[in-house]
Amino acid sequence: MVSVGIAGLRLLRVRDSSGRVRVGVIAGDELHVLATDDMLATLAATDLPAEVDSVPIVDPETCALQAPWTVLAPLAPPETWAAGVTYERSRDARLRESRVADVYDLVYEADRPELFLKDAAGRRTVGPGEPIGIRADASWTVPEPELAVVLGANGAPLAATIGNDVSARDIEGANPLYLPQAKIYAGACALGPALLVPVDWDTPFDIELRIFDRDGKLLFSGQTSTSNMRRSFTELVEFLRRHNPLPSGTVLLTGTGIIPPDAVTLTPGQSVEIRIPGIGTLRNPVAPAAELHERRTDTAHV
């Protein structure tokens, strides 16, 4: 487990006007900026690095900072994995959409969970305020709000954050073998805004989802709790680590219990908000994945 010294803290990864990245600790309505850019080292430390600056927090939910500081994804995971069918609501939704419905029922009841690679090296992952993507060849794309767990080198949970496992439901529903195409593409994952170091991992997390149209009108809202999970964090991590070397900083998305109705699908111009009390609110606009792919490709050559 993490050092008792930082239990209960919320941390941000931020950038100043010069492009310098720092780690900061949230204290009331201020961010105490530390003399480090290494989030993983900070999580593992007994004592925090020295404070080098303080920045006003202008929105306590999204953790937005006074300009010119910006909030980044809380870390750049070397790998991001995801678990499926961990809530009964998710099982029921995937049974309805699938042409081979019994597959998801079997997974829900099985000892072995569904685990899949969502991203590597952060190529498809965005942070707070950045666009999440929708595929042009999908007709039904939804956000999947999840608690995300950051793992240490030995698989111990270091911190928790908010994750959005954006999914092309119609592609997966056509055939479970299409899962990688439904789950892995530009802008299909979002993390943030803060990392919380829980005092007690057994305390349930409440999860809230809201989808807004381009004019700010609420299209859908839902809520759940990790207390409704079929499996524990410990169980998911244990299966993930079996014969599978995980680098420190790996993120595990633990599944969703909120599924929008069939009539709700993400389209460009909409926005998604996921709130977990104690962590904050992750807010992302929606954009075509093709645009995000081109943007990431151009950036890679800079």
Domains with residue ranges and CATH for the chain: 4-71 (no CATH), 79-300 (3.90.850.10)
Least confident of 93-102, 200-209, 216-225: 93-102
Mean pLDDT in the chain?
A: 92
Model confidence over 39-86: pLDDT tens digits? 999 998 888 999 999 999 999 999 999 999 999 999 999 999 999 999
Q: How confident is the model at residue 99 (pLDDT cuts 50, 70, 90)?
A: low
Report field, pTM of the whole predicted structure over 0.85: yes
Q: Give pLDDT, residue 107.
A: 86
Q: Give pLDDT, residue 2.
A: 36
Q: Give pLDDT, residue 89.
A: 59
Model confidence over 175-198: pLDDT tens digits? 999 999 999 999 999 999 999 999
Q: Give pLDDT, residue 102.
A: 72
Cα 146 from Cα 165, distance rounded (Å): 7
